[in-house]
A and B are shown apart, each in its own frame.
Chain A
Amino acid sequence: MTTDTAVSTPDLAGDSLAREAWRRLRQNQAATLSLVLLALTTLACVIGPWLTPWGLDEVDWNAFLTAPSLADGHYAGTDANGRDLLTRVLHGGRVSLSVALVATLVSLLIGVLYGAVAGFLGGRVDNLMMRFVDIMYSLPFMFLVILLMVVFGRNILLIYAAIGAVEWLDMSRIVRGQVLALKRREFVEAAHALGVRGHKIVTRHLIPNAIGPVIVYVTLTVPKVILLESFLSFLGLGVQEPLTSWGVLISEGKDMMETAPWMLLVPSVFLALTLLCLNFLGDGLRDALDPKTR
């Protein structure tokens, strides 16, 4: 956690929340570096597979289990079937990152709706809805997700939905708390008193104030989701051949680590680096968006 030592000058013009946060984020070197690295990784995974000379399932009959080398074009070596590892890691990255994106959106959608409704309605409904969340919290979810994958087969759409359906609990709590706290604040009352219309209060006052924690939490959900997907893939319950993901590749690499350590190291580095960057970025965003540290 880096603390911002720079004192921001009081800006009388009144910057927008987004611009202010962006400026503070850029002062955080670790977060900026993470953002750049993440952008590069994403770019590599999206366009990389077209640039490498090998296909996802293409077998190079001259190179089985060869170590990384610049000479033969297998920059990260090959696996036991003579497939180019770099190509596979980039393809796997597409799957892992797409799961991260979609599953996070699913959890965001469920969590925000559920939390906002509970917080807005309040009273008995709120009580009931939050009791339900409490019960969900105490379920051993990992086991249910594993069961789900076993039951319905290894289908990527199901992975999106299952992971999203598991990760919405924290989001709903955060949003509910925000809505509950904000709807009684003085500035909302003041807006009412000044005759601001209801929808205007929601868009001008409630949403901008609630969105900070949500954004921060989304950044922290993404690594969790990637982790869950690779955990499932590692256990052999994730995506299916010919698709691959970082978890699948790590699992394959683990079995070959004594003869071909690069098969374990390359996907591990990609996964670990991505997760690390996302965590740094999340921390940085929290510092940048938290109104209390302003």
Chain B
Amino acid sequence: MPGYILKRLLQAIPTLWIVITLSFFLMHLAPGGPFDGERQLPPEIEANLLATYHLDEPVWKQYLIYMGNLLQGDLGPSFKYKDFSVTELVAQGFPVSLELGLWAIGLALLIGLPLGVIAALKRNSTVDYLVMGAALAGVAIPNFVIAPLLALVFGVFLAWLPVGGWNDGQWQNLVLPVVALSIQQIAYIARMMRASMIEVLGSHFIRTARAKGLTEAEVIWRHALRPAMLPVVSYLGPAVAGIITGSVVIEQIFGIPGIGRYFVQAALNRDYTLVMGTVVFYGALIVLLNLLVDLTYSALDPQIRHDD
């Protein structure tokens, strides 16, 4: 097992390297630079600025400098938020994004799993059709449509919850963004859980369990649930990626100070280091989470063993 983890971590290095290199050169291909602001700087000052940040060097040299710093864990200074380093900005924004994401994933599992199980148990009943119809709608309607609509209904018309803002993560401020982020995932998980539950319920070992005289509840709880959850577990990787990209929009709509909001702003401002920092951070996060998902998968399914 430790060997397997090590192997996967080593495999992640080329992936991350491709991400970093691609985004670095893309970013530097962009016309304009971080200091073409509204105010024209005197040429000497501009030259000094560019020299300080090595922006006057050829791009390949900047790339080497950046990679060198990155290997030492230095993401560089932000060009736009002058007094902050990128590491500080990421460290500031990430807890907020993390809280949002964790709640969203938690809610998606908490609602999606039982809905899928119920739909599978009551297959082809009204309940099933209602749940699956709602789930299809949830899959189809994007979160940037749901989010403003939720804000409109619960924030403006009913005035139950604030329309935006973070307010140090008060629960009132959390509800709408978390719901908006999780609806699509709830729908996916419910659909997946229903399909796999139906398949598991038709298998031989369930018939054996029933023949032993176990009650239906015991059959489902002790025998059917765990294998039925496998596809959902393997979906968690994409789900996390979906929630991360979703948070770019959701954080903007609700004015939440997470990393997602920085990214688009930074790209538009040509804040090279902040963009790169966000990409590196998210790239590493996604790779790590995928590994975690695979490990969970093998823990749940005894047929999969990661031998070296």
Contact = CB atoms under 8 A, between A and B. Distances in A.
Interface in A18-71: none
Contacts of A276: 136-137, 140-141
A140 B148 contact: no
B290 interface: yes
A138 B140 contact: no
A1 B244 CA distance: 28
Contact of A272 (B141, B148, B248, B268): B141
B145 interface: yes
A249 to B, nearest CB: 11
A120 to B, nearest CB: 26
B249 A261 contact: no
Nearest to B244: A140
A234 interface: yes
Contacts of A148: 26
A231 interface: yes
Contacts of B252: 235
B89 interface: no
B195 to A, nearest CB: 8
B286 A223 contact: no
A77 to B, nearest CB: 15
Given A230-B142, A235-B248, A264 B152 contact: yes
Contact of A150 (B30, B124, B191): B30
Given A143-B278, A151-B27, A151-B29, 10 more contacts: A142-B245, A143-B23, A146-B264, A146-B267, A147-B275, A234-B249, A251-B144, A253-B148, A258-B156, A264-B149
Interface in A139-179: 139-140, 142-144, 146-148, 150-151
Interface string A216-248: 000000010001001100111100000000010
A135 B144 contact: no
Given A257-B148, A271-B142, A139 B268 contact: no
A279 interface: yes
B151 interface: yes
Given A139-B15, A150-B30, A151-B30, A261 B264 contact: no
Given A272-B145, A276-B141, A140 B26 contact: no
Chain B facing A: main interface SS: helix
Given A147-B26, A147-B267, A261-B152, A268 B145 contact: yes
Interface residues of B, number: 47
Nearest to A255: B148
B22 interface: yes
Interface residues of A, number: 41
Interface string B172-216: 000000000000000000010001000000000000000000000
Interface of A: 1, 3, 135, 138-140, 142-144, 146-148, 150-151, 223, 227, 230-231, 234-237, 247, 250-251, 253-254, 257-258, 261, 264-265, 268, 271-272, 275-276, 278-280, 283
Most buried by B among A234, A253, A265: A234
Contact of B26 (A144, A235, A236, A261): A144
Nearest to A254: B148
B189 to A, nearest CB: 15
B278 A230 contact: no
Q: Which 8 A-B pairs have the closest CB atoms?
A: A151-B30, A275-B140, A254-B148, A142-B245, A276-B140, A150-B267, A272-B141, A268-B145
Contacts of A261: 152
Nearest to A274: B140
B127 interface: no
A268 B152 CA distance: 13
B63 interface: no
Contacts of B287: 138
B35 to A, nearest CB: 17
B15 A135 contact: yes
B152 A140 contact: no
B188 to A, nearest CB: 12
B283 A234 contact: no
Contacts of A251: 144
Interface in B250-301: 252-253, 263-264, 267-268, 275, 278-279, 282-283, 286-287, 290
B18 interface: yes
Nearest to B18: A135
B148 A3 contact: no
Nearest to B145: A268
7 contacts: A140-B241, A143-B263, A227-B142, A234-B144, A272-B137, A275-B140, A279-B140
A264 B148 contact: yes
A254 B253 contact: yes
Nearest to A139: B19
B142 A138 contact: no
A150 B23 CA distance: 12
B67 interface: no
Given A139-B15, A235-B249, A147 B27 contact: yes
